[in-house]
Structure 1
Amino acid sequence: MKWQAALKDYKTYLKIERGLSENSIESYALDILKLIQYLKANNIEISPVNINTETVQRCVYETAKQLNARSQSRFISGLRSFFSYLVFEDYRETNPVDLIESPKIGRKLPDTLSEEEIDNLIKAIDLSKPEGERNRAMLETLYGCGLRVSELINLKLSDLFFEEGFIKVTGKGDKQRFVPIVNATQKYINIYIKHIRNHQKIQSGFEDTLFLNRRGRQLTRAMVFTIIKNLAKAIDLKKNVSPHTFRHSFATHLLENDADLRSIQLMLGHESITTTEIYVHLDKSHLTKVIEEFHPRNH
């Protein structure tokens, strides 16, 4: 993966998934461009996938000389966000910025929805419209199976193994995994297929695609994002919600209910458990509860 390609993908993510303004996106991009310029100036040829903490730290040290504390913090935060994106997308296993100290205290963690908030979002779907049943089935699948949005829109009818209780998911690098699917999620998918999808005119090449738009073609990532944003607006939800929020919530709720990290890793399709551990940081109170309940020194 080359730097410019990674930066382009990252900017698309900031626009579509995070819903940031053009000014904010360019501000984030500027931080990455500073790192790229540093590498060029020092004749360092290394990809965003392989760059290590030491190299990033040298860049931060050299660049920080020209910045005040607030700007230093902003620069480090921008780099951390970029590499966090690469980790979440499974291009990297670790974030090289995590061990770099910043003047800023703490960092913004991704928003997670409560079970009640997820219920309210789904209840806000207008089921009187044909796309209502599709949208309900999609959100139930996003949350119930912890899918990436790209995995959701690429689901096929031939990927559904309801009798066995699984769906086949094609993730990053075309790697496939089987994810358990509960009866409630199966029910909503079946309702959508029987009452909506079976009556659609389906375009050539999309006969096996599960979730279709009104033109009988595959949905786009942007469309799923827009659907969720509109539902959040309808219930006046003040959190920054995207398709990935459902994936975060899936992992966090499993963790809160004492699922082990290795099982969550397998369901999310993470190459490394290091990636899955990012989700642990979302709920420190759960870790405290585990120590209090299970550590022998606490009894």
Structure 2
Amino acid sequence: MEEVVEKYAVYLRDLKGASENTILSYQRDLRHFICFLKDSGVEKIQDVTRTNITAYLLNLQKKGRSTSTISRNIASIRSFFQFLQKTNVIKEDLTQDLESPKIEKKLPEILSVQEVDLLLRQPNEKDLKGIRDKAMLEVLYATGIRVSELICLEESDVNLTLEYIKCADPNHSRERIIPLGASAVKALKLYLEKVRFAMIRDPNESALFVNCNGKPMTRQGFWKIIKVYSKKANINKEITPHMLRHSFAAHLVANGADLQSVQEMLGHSDISTTQIYAQLNRNKLKEVYSKAHPRA
């Protein structure tokens, strides 16, 4: 059965164009599945039954595997059996009736307004690096863009006169126009006037944010920056760039912004993704009520 899994991996790579991470994930899931089959006395893929597949999924549940892990295994097995049927290894796809367990959406962790303010006050605005870092953090929180979008911004994407940035979504062709708040405008203006030109080596460099070598800032570079300042601020949370995106959206909704506007700024294709921030706000109201009402 291992040989069939290897052929499936080639199929994913060459014909489906799957990433190496996806292929490795599928292979890992299928190897565990095959080990279970062999322990159950099944030696050929043609001898697998629906009962075998169901027993494997029940075994994952007994082992305490998470709902998301079981769902991923179902996706791996289902894709594998579709390949087997397509290549005539088996006559019938045994996974057609498999249902993935419902995954309970976890509410994202956010920073409070006070914690964001504390984080943004950490960069030292008396040196070039601190001014750049302050500008990056302010833009990230002011706009809610992804870190991948932040590092792809070009100098021409910034309009300080009208106080907005243009952001090209890496996963979609459309461009978003996102307002900048006064703090972000001030930080960006200082960075552009005092720092960027001093940092770049190539006058034709178009990237808005660059590292100390004058090259475009990388994801890894920015992750290191945010880790340094979160530690310096002594905030007892695992702060990530995406947490600032979540905080941006949650704070807007909490202060009365409508979901459709927040959806537009975040670049969500489906408003159901944005509705999670309304849920966060409802939970906060319940918490406040429980603490404050004398008969709660």
TM-score band by shorter chain is 0.5 to 0.7
Cα RMSD (Å):
3.6
On the 8 A contact 1:134/1:211 being kept in 2, the answer is yes
Match of residue 71 from structure 1:
64
Q: After superposition, where does 1:123-162 map in structure 2 within 5 Å?
A: 123-162=121-160
TM-score of the superposed pair, with normalisation by structure 2: 0.67
1:275–1:63: structure 2 CA closer, same or farther, 3 Å change rule?
farther
Displacement of 1:65 in angstroms is: 2.1
* Higher deviation after alignment, 278-287 or 261-270: 278-287
Q: After superposition, where does 1:41-56 map in structure 2 within 5 Å?
A: none
Match of residue 178 from structure 1:
177
Matched length: 232
Displacement of 1:272 in angstroms is: 1.3
Match of residue 197 from structure 1:
196
1:223–1:101: structure 2 CA closer, same or farther, 3 Å change rule?
same
1:186–1:8: structure 2 CA closer, same or farther, 3 Å change rule?
farther
Q: Deviations over 1:182-236 (max 9, x none)?
A: 2221111000111111223433652x21111111110000111111111111122
Match of residue 248 from structure 2:
250
Pick one of 238, 246, 251 that aligns with 1:240. 238
Q: After superposition, where does 1:2-17 map in structure 2 within 5 Å?
A: 4-5=18-19, 7=21
Give 2:199's aligned amino acid. Q
Structure with the bigger RCO (C-alpha within 8 Å, sep 6+) is 1
Pick one of 217, 220, 233 that aligns with 1:219. 217
Q: How many Å separate the matches in 2 of 1:273 and 1:36?
A: 38
Q: Deviations over 1:270-292 (max 9, x none)?
A: 11112212333434325769xxx
1:36–1:108: structure 2 CA closer, same or farther, 3 Å change rule?
farther
Match of residue 226 from structure 2:
228
Extract unaligned runs of 5+ from structure 1.
10-28, 39-57, 83-97, 290-299
1:219–1:182: structure 2 CA closer, same or farther, 3 Å change rule?
same
Q: How many Å separate the matches in 2 of 1:119 and 1:139?
A: 11
Q: How many Å separate the matches in 1 of 2:181 and 2:190?
A: 15
Pick one of 158, 162, 165 that aligns with 2:163. 165
TM-score of the superposed pair, with normalisation by structure 1: 0.66
Q: How many Å separate the matches in 2 of 1:263 and 1:6?
A: 37
Q: How many Å separate the matches in 1 of 2:258 and 2:100?
A: 26
Give 1:100's aligned amino acid. P
Q: After superposition, where does 1:61-100 map in structure 2 within 5 Å?
A: 61=54, 63-72=56-65, 74=66, 76-78=67-69, 100=101
Q: How many Å separate the matches in 2 of 1:258 and 1:99?
A: 36
On the 8 A contact 2:57/2:70 being kept in 1, the answer is no
Give 2:29's aligned amino acid. K
1:248–1:141: structure 2 CA closer, same or farther, 3 Å change rule?
same
1:180–1:152: structure 2 CA closer, same or farther, 3 Å change rule?
same
Extract unaligned runs of 5+ from structure 2.
1-11, 34-50, 74-98, 288-296
1:35–1:100: structure 2 CA closer, same or farther, 3 Å change rule?
farther
On the 8 A contact 2:200/2:215 being kept in 1, the answer is no
Displacement of 1:71 in angstroms is: 2.2
Match of residue 277 from structure 2:
279
Q: How many Å separate the matches in 2 of 1:3 and 1:36?
A: 21
Displacement of 1:129 in angstroms is: 2.9
Displacement of 1:128 in angstroms is: 3.3
1:125–1:71: structure 2 CA closer, same or farther, 3 Å change rule?
same
Q: How many Å separate the matches in 2 of 1:111 and 1:255?
A: 15
On the 8 A contact 2:249/2:262 being kept in 1, the answer is yes
Larger-Rg structure? 2
